[in-house]
Amino acid sequence: MKFAHIADVHLGYEQYRLPYRAEEFTRAFREAVERAVEERVDFILIAGDLFHTSRPSPETLKDAIEILGIPKAKGIPVFAIEGNHDRTQRKVSAYHLLEGLGLLNLLGIREEKVENEHLTSEKLGDKYLVKGVFEKGGESIEIHGLKYMSAAWLERNRLRDIFRPEGDAILMLHQGIKELFERVSGVLPESQRDYFELKMEDLPKGYLYYAMGHIHRRFETNYDIGKLVYPGSLQRWDFGDYEVRYRWDGRTFKPRAGVEKGFYIVEDWEPRFVELKVRPFVDIKIEADGETVKREVKRLGPKIPSEAFVRLDIKWEKPFDVSALHELLKVKYLHIRTRFGRKIETPGGGGEVPRPEEYFSPLELKAIELTGEKKFEVEPVVELFLRGGWDAEKTQKREEKKENKKMEKEGPSKDGEKKQTEARPPKKGEAVEKKPENAKPKKGPNLLAWLGGAR
């Protein structure tokens, strides 16, 4: 048995508001499907986020129909689940349209019972669990799957209660797993639950292959009796998903290679990565004065391909004109980000400004990171707050804590007694301020106001 495992295609994504990037995302998907067909796979898995949004444009749908027509013409079935970007709360999604055209088979919990050559249904409460089926040469494989679900939903509905494989089976999910995120990005606190929805212990056992999506870097590991694999996105997602990263150590730039982009061919349950050549992303970071930055960037320039997307992160103590850097780095797209490196004193010499992590919550810090560039995408910021929520109570508590510290620092009044404000009846002829009966309490300062959104 041989199959292809693709995930996080993001058709229709005009990255950095550049229409030609959407064309490159489409081209990568076409190449992946064509190479899977050339490999003579028995079926293809798409583990979520085929589309960048749940409402793809007519042009994006047209591209999907044309590309998925390639395996259909060869009699190769495609099994898919919805991801967090393209899932819908409506009854019918773009996936249902593609399924109606015979281009893919949609797996997961559905309202209706589905039975055909490649799909079968199992009663699950008042709904149906629709599973994929593939048979060849006396072998039979079941393909189980579920669209992206929130952490709250997964806490109420255990995957181990839903999925129980009885024979050779594949489980396809579009979820983040805490332990795997930590291997890629470092230890994550529970407060950052917007990065993952599951822990390894939540996964059902007994599957020969776990076809995952959602993490945009490829990753392989073992779980129970099977392989657990993330193929990553087909195209580079951001500058954290770099091809190469350069860090200045005070004397020279130290390079670090990123991960390749592509998909997997799985034969006899052994995954093999197939690399796709995509647009390179290069991330450069330097802390130095203007002359040093210009000199070293000029030296580095020849190593960077002209078609690359480059982020140049400069930490300085004294600002300088960065326009010359565009001449030194002749690349397709250059984003220059500058930050002050010196310590900043509070007004009145009251000490250093608190570090951001001491003042902002992890959710707020992520929002600041997302909005820190001149041209930032609005959708990820909105999605962050929708998924992570806005904890107004924590914000208020932080303000109260700051106020208490301020009072402690100022100390008691000169006579050693605490000042009190006592209510007294108004004097004759004195105006009395009337408060509205239904006056709403004032909201404490929040991140939107800090960003200038509450002007």
Active site residues: 85
User: Quick one: which of 95, 215, 226 has its CA closest to 170?
Assistant: 226
Instruction: Using CB atoms within 10 Å of the CB of residue 35, give its burial: 0 to 12 exposed, 13 to 18 middle, 19+ buried.
Output: middle
What are the φ and ψ backbone dihedral angles of 316, each rounded to 5 degrees?
-130, 160
| Sequential DSSP letters for 408-426 | HHH-S-TTSS-------PP
Place of tokens 């009796």: 225
Rounded distance between C-alpha atoms, residue 433 and residue 450, angstroms: 31
Q: What sections of 261-412 are H helices per DSSP? A: 290-300, 325-328, 356-359, 362-370, 378-388, 392-410
Rounded distance between C-alpha atoms, residue 112 and residue 372, angstroms: 45
Does residue 58 contact residue 95 with C-beta atoms inside 8 Å?
Answer: no
What are the φ and ψ backbone dihedral angles of 113, each rounded to 5 degrees?
-80, 135
The strand pair at 43-47 and 78-81 is best described as parallel
User: Quick one: which of 380, 378, 376, 367 has its CA closest to 85?
Assistant: 380
Count of alpha carbons within 13 angstroms of residue 312, beta-carbon side: 26
Rounded distance between C-alpha atoms, residue 239 and residue 243, angstroms: 9
39 three-class SS: coil
User: Quick one: which of 26, 47, 31 has its CA closest to 266?
Assistant: 47
411 Ramachandran zone, left/alpha/beta (phi>0; psi -120 to 50)? left
Place of tokens 């992206």: 148
Does residue 1 contact residue 42 with C-beta atoms inside 8 Å?
Answer: yes
Rounded distance between C-alpha atoms, residue 355 and residue 97, angstroms: 50
What separation in angstroms does the CA of 356 have from each of 233, 336, 353, 359, 368?
A: 31, 22, 9, 5, 10
Does residue 362 contact residue 192 with C-beta atoms inside 8 Å?
Answer: yes
Other CB atoms within a 10 A radius of the CB of residue 444 amount to 14
